Amino acid sequence: MRFVHGFISVVLWIIAIPLLLVAVARLLPFDNVVSLPHLVAFTPWATLLTLPLLIIVLFARRRVLTLLLAVAMAGYVYWTAPFFVPPDTASAADPADAGTLRVMTINALYGQADARSVVDLVESQHVEVLAVQELTPAFEDALADAGLDELLAHSFTVPADDSPAGSGLWSSTPLSDEEELPGTSFAMPSALVGVGGTDVRVTVVHPHPPMPTEITTWRTELVELTEQAHADDTPQILAGDFNATYDHATFRDLLGSRFSDATREWGAGPAVTWPEAAQVPPLFALDHVVVEKDMPVSDVVTMQVPGTDHRALLATVVVE
C-alpha cells in the first residue's frame, strides 16, 4: 500500500508541475526569456486541466499539492474569467452606421489562403477594412481577380515574394497618411481611414514569431509597435497576427491603459485562431483587433478560410 500511495503521489506531481509552471509564467511581468512565451500561451488550457486535477488531489488528501493547485486555479480564474463577461450592452452594432467600422484580419500563410473565400467573407460580413498578413504579389493578384477591389477600392500594400514578410491594408473609403513601421522583420503598414467624420489610424500588425532563438526580436518588434502606437494621439485600431495572446505580458504592455483587446471586451470567450488544420483544432488566440478603450466592440467572431493555418477574425468597432 505504501508503494501504491507513493506512486500515485509521483504521478499527480508529474501532471501538476507543468500546470504550476504555466501559472508561474503567467504571473511574471515579463516574457522575454526562452520558453516563457510558449508556456504562457497555454494559460486557457491549463485552466481547464487544473480544475479536475485539483478535485482529484483534494480527495487524495495531498495537502501541499492541493494548496498549490488551489492558488494556481485562483489565478487562472482571475485571468480568464473576463473573457466570458459580456459588456453592459451586448447587442451587435450595425456595420452600416456611419460611425462604425467592420474590421477583418487574416494571415494568408505565404499567400496560400483561398482568395475567393476571403473576398466572399468580405462581402457577406460587410467588411469595410481588411488587414492581410503574409501577402505575396500572387495572392494580391488573386484577391483582385476575385473582386476584392470592387468591394474595397482603396489599398496600401507591401507584398513580399515567397516570404511571410508581406502585408496589406484594404478599405472601402480612401486611405491617407500612409506609413510603414520601420525596422521590423515583416511589413506593418498603416493609414488613416475616415469613419463618420473621424480619422482613425489602422495598422496591420505582424511581428516576428517568438521562436526559441528569436524571442528578443519578437519582443523588440512588439515594443517598437507599442511605442509608436502610444506616441500617436490619433484614434487607432491595430489588427493582425500579433504572434501573442492576451496572456503575454508584452501584449498587455502594448494595450496599457489606452487600448483594449476586442475579443476580451466582447466577452464571448477567447477567439482561438491558430493553428487551423483538419487534424488539429485551433489552440491559441494569436490574432487580434485592438481598439481604443472608448471604442465599443460587438460581433467579434472567427471564420475559417481554406488554405491557411489561421482563422480570420472579424469585429465591429464603434468609433463614434
Q: Which three cell numbers stand for residue 203?
A: 495598422
Decide: helix, strand or coil at residue 138: helix
Provide CATH code, domain 100-318: 3.60.10.10
Task: With beta carbons less than 8 A apart as the criterion, state whether 129 and 195 touch.
Answer: no
Torsion 159-290-22-284 (CA) sign: negative
Report the distance separating Cα 133 and Cα 166, nearest Å. 6
**How high is the pLDDT of residue 320?**
81
Q: pTM higher than 0.75 for the full model?
A: yes
Q: What is the pLDDT of residues 161-171, one digit of tens each?
A: 989 999 999 99
Report the distance separating Cα 230 and Cα 261, nearest Å. 15
Q: Where are the domains of the chain?
A: 2-84, 100-318
- 320 vs 35, more confident: 35
pLDDT tier for residue 89 given thresholds of 50, 70 and 90: low
Report the distance separating Cα 86 and Cα 310, nearest Å. 25
**How high is the pLDDT of residue 88?**
77
Report the distance separating Cα 10 and Cα 133, nearest Å. 46
Give residue 56's Cα distance to chain centre. Answer: 33
- 175 vs 279, more confident: 175
Nearest Cα neighbor of 245 from 268, 267, 264 is 264
**How high is the pLDDT of residue 278?**
66
Report the distance separating Cα 236 and Cα 191, nearest Å. 10
